[in-house]
C-alpha cells in the first residue's frame, strides 16, 4: 500500500550518502531519548501513543457532539489559538472543499466553520458576527491552559451573543469546551455552566494535540472521517517506531535537516503546490518553531505556497542569501482534473498545452522549480503524499511530530516547552494593567 514518504535524493549535490550514515548513532540516541521517555520535556510525550491509546469513550462522544452540531447548527465557531486551532484548520482545509464555507449547502452538507480567537481584532470579530447573522450556531471553545487571552476575549463576545439569542440554558447546550481535565478558568466555567467538555490530556502539548478532541471535534463536524485519520496516524506511528534507521523516513528527515543545518542552512521553507496545504504548513511552523527555536538555536521554519509565491518570493529563494533549504509537500494525485482545451485561434499561445491537464502543468512547474532551486544552491527535500485523504493526513501528522521530537533532541534542546512565548504575554498584561504586573508596567511605560 502506498504511503507518505520522504525523499532526499534531489539533495544529493549537498549531502553525501555517508553523511546520513554517519548520523545514525546520533539519531538513534535521540530516538531512544524520545521513546524511552528519558529526555528533557518527557512529561509531554502522550502524543507518541495517542493514535493507538486514546479515550475511546470520549472519541464516541466527539462523534455524537459532531452529529448534534451538524443537525442543529448552520455555523460552528472554533475558538482557539496556536495548537488549539491550527491542526483542525489544517485538516479541514486539506480534506474538504477549497471553498468550504462558500460552496452550496448541498455540496458541503455540514455547517460552515469559522476560526476566531486566533488574533485580537475587533474588526474580524464584528465581521464574523455579520456572517453568523440570525443563523443557528454552536461554539467549540478550545484552550488547553484555559487562560489564553485571545480565545478568552472572543469567547466572551460570542458567549454573550449566544446567550442573548438562545437564553442561558439552551446556549449551554451549544457550547463545547475542550480544555484541561481539571485546571484553568475554562474548565471552571464549563463545570459551572454545564458545557459538554472534552479533555486535552496533561501529557500532550498544544502543538501535538491535533489527534485529541482539540482537532478531532471540529474535523468531525466538517464531515471528515476521524476514524481514518487515527488509522493513518497509527500506521505512521508503527513505521516511525519500528522501521530500522535505513528505512525510517521520520528519522531520515530529522537527520537530513540537521545535516543541512550544520552546513549553515538556518531556514527551512516548506513548499506546497496545492492551496489546500497552506494550513498544514501553518501547523508545521508552530510544531517546529516552538519545539526547536530556543536557547538561541534552531532552524527557522518558513513556508511558501507555490506557484503563487514564485511570483513574489521566488526571486529570493532562487538568488538571495543562501541560508535556506526547501522541503516540498507533493500531493501526488490531484483530487480533480481539468483538461486544457484547444482553441481554433491560438491567441493566448496555449494550444501547445491542449489535451494536457492543469495538474500536469502544476507538476511540471514543481519539477522545474526543484531543479532551478537546486541549481541556485537550495537543497531540496520532498515529502510525497499519495493522495488527499484522512489516512494519509494522519500519517503526515505523525511523521512530522515524530521527526520533530527526534530533531529537537539532535539539536540539543527541550522540544516540548515554549518558555519564550511568555515574554510578550507578560508585557501585554503589564500594559493592560492586569493585577500583579504593576512594577513591570511602570518600567515598560518608561520605555514606550
- CA dist 185 to 84, 172, 179, 192, 295, Å? 16, 16, 10, 10, 31
To ligand G6P, the closest distance from the beta carbon of 81 in angstroms equals 5
Please state, in angstroms and rounded to a whole number, the distance separating the CA atoms of residues 366 and 306.
Answer: 8
Q: Whole-number minimum distance, CB 153 to ligand G6P, in Å?
A: 12
Least distance CB 397 / ligand G6P (angstroms): 15
With CB under 6 A, what is the number of residues at the site for ligand G6P?
14
> Does position 89 bind ligand G6P by CB under 6 A?
no
Catalytic residue annotation: 290, 425
Residue among 331, 401, 391, 402 nearest 366 (CA):
331
Q: Cα 107 to chain center, whole Å?
A: 25
Q: Which is nearer to ligand G6P, 206 or 379 (CB)?
A: 206
Candidate list 70, 73, 84, 330; residue touching ligand G6P; CB under 6 A: 84
The reply to whether 377 sits near ligand G6P by the rule CB under 6 A is no
* Other Cβ atoms closer than 10 A to 155: 24
Binding region for ligand G6P (CB under 6 A) out of 14-22, 78-86, 163-171, 437-445: 78-86
When asked if residue 83 is in the footprint of ligand G6P (CB under 6 A), the reply is yes
Q: Which stretch binds ligand G6P (CB under 6 A): 15-23, 81-89, 324-332, 428-436?
A: 81-89
Angle between helices 249-262 and 24-35 (to 10 degrees): 120
Query: How many Cα atoms sit within 13 Å of 183 on the Cβ side?
Result: 7
- Pick the binder of ligand G6P from 148, 281, 303, 395 (CB under 6 A): 148
Number of C-beta neighbours around residue 2 at 10 A: 11
How far apart are CB 29 and ligand G6P at their closest, in Å?
Answer: 27
Does residue 197 belong to the site contacting ligand G6P (CB under 6 A)? no
207 near ligand G6P, rule: CB under 6 A:
yes
- Per CB under 6 A, 82 contacts ligand G6P: yes
Nearest-angstrom CA–CA distance, 425 and 422 = 5
Closest CA to 415 of 324, 297, 329, 270: 297
Residue with nearest beta carbon to ligand G6P: 206
Q: With CA atoms as reference, report the closest residue to 140 among 214, 192, 194.
A: 214
Residues sharing a CB contact under 8 Å with residue 444, sequence separation 6 or more, in sequence order: 427, 430, 431
274 vs 358: CA distance, rounded Å: 12
Least distance from ligand G6P to the Cβ atom of residue 365, Å: 34
- Identity of the residue, 15 or 50, whose beta carbon is nearer to ligand G6P in the bound complex: 50
Residue of 235, 249, 282, 290 interacting with ligand G6P (CB under 6 A): 290
Of the pair 147, 357, the CB lying nearest ligand G6P is at: 147
User: Could you tell me the smallest distance in angstroms from the CB atom of residue 145 to ligand G6P?
Assistant: 3
144 binds ligand G6P (CB under 6 A): yes
Among 201, 206, 215, 394, binds ligand G6P (CB under 6 A): 206
- Check if the beta carbon of residue 370 is closer than 8 Å to that of residue 315: no
Q: In whole angstroms, what is the distance from residue 276 CA to residue 255 CA?
A: 28
Shortest separation between residue 80's beta carbon and ligand G6P, angstroms = 6
- Confirm if 391 and 228 have CB atoms less than 8 A apart: yes
Rule CB under 6 A: is residue 81 a binding residue for ligand G6P?
yes
Q: Distance of alpha carbon 182 from its chain centroid, rounded?
A: 26
Q: Which is nearer to ligand G6P, 187 or 239 (CB)?
A: 187
**Crossing angle for the helix pair 226-242 and 56-72, nearest 10 degrees?**
150
**CB of 206 or CB of 408, closer to ligand G6P:** 206
**Least distance CB 146 / ligand G6P (angstroms):** 7
Helix, strand, coil percentages for the chain (3-state, nearest 5): 55, 15, 30
Among 5, 42, 101, 145, binds ligand G6P (CB under 6 A): 145
Residue 212 interacts with ligand G6P (CB under 6 A)?
Answer: no
What span, in angstroms and rounded, lies between the C-alpha atoms of 435 and 422?
A: 17
Nearer to ligand G6P, 273 or 279 (CB): 279
Q: Does 395 bind ligand G6P (CB under 6 A)?
A: no
Burial grade of 103 (CB within 10 A; 0-12, 13-18, 19 or more): middle
Residue 261 binds to ligand G6P (criterion: CB under 6 A): no
* Interacting residues toward ligand G6P by CB under 6 A: 81-84, 143-145, 148, 151, 206-207, 290, 418, 421
Amino acid at each position: 500500500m502506498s504511503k507518505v514518504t520522504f525523499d532526499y535524493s534531489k539533495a544529493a549535490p549537498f549531502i553525501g550518502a555517508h553523511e546520513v550514515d554517519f548520523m545514525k548513532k546520533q539519531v538513534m540516541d535521540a530516538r531512544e531519548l524520545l521513546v524511552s521517555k528519558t529526555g528533557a520535556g518527557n512529561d509531554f510525550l502522550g502524543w507518541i501513543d495517542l493514535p493507538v491509546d486514546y479515550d475511546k469513550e470520549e472519541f464516541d462522544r466527539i462523534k455524537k457532539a459532531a452529529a448534534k452540531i451538524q443537525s442543529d447548527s448552520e455555523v460552528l465557531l472554533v475558538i482557539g489559538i496556536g495548537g488549539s486551532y491550527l491542526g483542525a484548520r489544517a485538516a479541514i482545509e486539506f480534506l474538504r472543499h477549497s471553498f468550504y464555507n462558500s460552496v452550496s449547502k448541498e455540496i458541503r452538507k455540514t455547517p460552515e466553520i469559522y476560526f476566531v480567537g486566533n488574533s485580537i481584532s475587533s474588526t474580524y470579530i464584528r465581521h464574523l458576527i455579520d456572517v453568523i447573522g440570525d443563523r443557528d450556531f454552536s461554539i467549540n471553545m478550545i484552550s488547553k491552559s484555559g487562560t489564553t487571552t485571545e480565545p478568552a476575549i472572543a469567547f466572551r463576545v460570542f458567549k454573550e451573543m449566544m446567550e442573548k439569542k438562545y437564553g442561558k440554558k439552551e446556549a449551554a447546550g451549544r457550547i463545547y469546551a475542550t480544555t484541561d481535565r481539571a485546571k484553568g478558568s475554562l474548565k471552571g466555567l464549563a463545570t459551572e455552566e454545564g458545557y459538554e467538555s472534552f479533555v486535552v490530556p496533561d501529557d500532550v502539548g498544544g502543538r501535538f494535540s491535533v489527534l485529541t478532541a482539540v482537532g478531532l471535534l471540529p474535523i468531525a463536524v466538517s464531515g471528515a472521517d476521524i476514524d481514518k485519520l487515527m488509522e493513518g496516524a497509527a500506521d505512521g506511528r508503527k513505521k516511525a517506531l519500528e522501521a530500522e534507521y535505513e528505512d525510517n523516513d521520520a528519522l531520515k528527515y530529522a537527520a537530513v535537516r540537521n545535516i543541512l543545518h550544520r552546513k549553515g542552512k538556518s531556514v527551512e521553507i516548506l513548499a506546497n503546490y496545492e492551496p489546500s496545504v497552506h494550513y498544514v504548513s501553518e501547523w508545521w511552523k508552530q510544531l517546529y518553531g516552538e519545539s526547536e527555536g530556543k536557547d538561541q538555536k534552531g532552524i527557522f521554519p518558513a513556508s511558501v505556497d507555490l506557484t503563487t509565491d514564485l511570483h513574489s518570493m521566488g526571486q529570493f529563494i532562487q538568488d538571495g542569501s543562501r541560508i535556506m533549504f526547501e522541503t516540498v509537500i507533493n500531493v501526488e494525485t490531484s483530487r480533480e482534473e481539468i483538461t486544457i482545451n484547444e482553441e481554433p485561434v491560438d491567441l493566448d499561445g496555449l494550444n501547445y498545452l491542449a489535451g494536457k491537464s492543469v495538474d500536469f502543468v502544476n507538476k511540471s512547474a514543481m519539477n522545474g522549480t526543484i531543479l532551478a532551486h537546486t541549481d541556485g544552491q537550495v537543497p531540496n527535500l520532498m515529502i510525497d503524499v499519495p493522495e488527499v485523504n484522512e489516512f494519509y493526513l494522519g500519517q503526515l501528522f505523525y511523521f512530522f511530530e515524530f521527526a520533530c521530537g527526534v530533531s529537537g533532541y539532535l539539536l540539543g534542546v527541550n522540544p516540548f516547552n515554549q518558555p519564550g512565548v511568555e515574554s510578550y504575554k507578560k508585557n501585554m498584561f503589564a500594559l493592560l494593567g492586569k493585577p500583579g504586573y504593576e512594577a513591570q508596567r511602570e518600567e515598560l511605560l518608561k520605555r514606550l
